[in-house]
Amino acid sequence: MIDVKEAASVAHDYLKGLSKDVEFPGLEIEEVELSDDEKFWFITLGYYDDVVRRTRKYKIFKLRTQDGQVLSMKMKTQKEL
């Protein structure tokens, strides 16, 4: 089972790997959650979409705790949370 530090690192690397030419200013871990059945980690990464307006966007990753495989990535804005 991967721990929370590993899960956060996997989510971070996954995002950067998908978007090699894209910058994510202010990228940080916003939330971590282990599912009640302990089968999944939910990792939320936040970043500034527009540095001038300081609008935050969020990527929510679902990872399998057994091996750290990313199963999904969802996009949310500040208004949607």
Is the pLDDT at 4 greater than 70, yes or no?
Answer: yes
Read off the pLDDT of residues 59-80 as tens digits, 9 standing for 90 and up.
Answer: 999 999 999 999 999 998 776 6
Tokens at 12, concatenated: 């971070």
pLDDT for residue 80: 67
Tokens at 17, concatenated: 């790997």
CATH topology of domain 4-80: Nuclear Transport Factor 2; Chain: A, (3.10.450)
Is the pLDDT at 13 greater than 80, yes or no?
Answer: yes
Read off the pLDDT of residues 18-58 as tens digits, 9 standing for 90 and up.
Answer: 988 888 889 999 999 999 999 999 999 999 987 677 788 99
Per-residue exposure over 4-40, b if at least 16 CB sit within 10 Å of its own CB, e if not: eeebbebbbebbeeeeeeeebeeeebeeeeeeeeeeb
Is the pLDDT at 16 greater than 70, yes or no?
Answer: yes
Domain ranges of the chain: 4-80
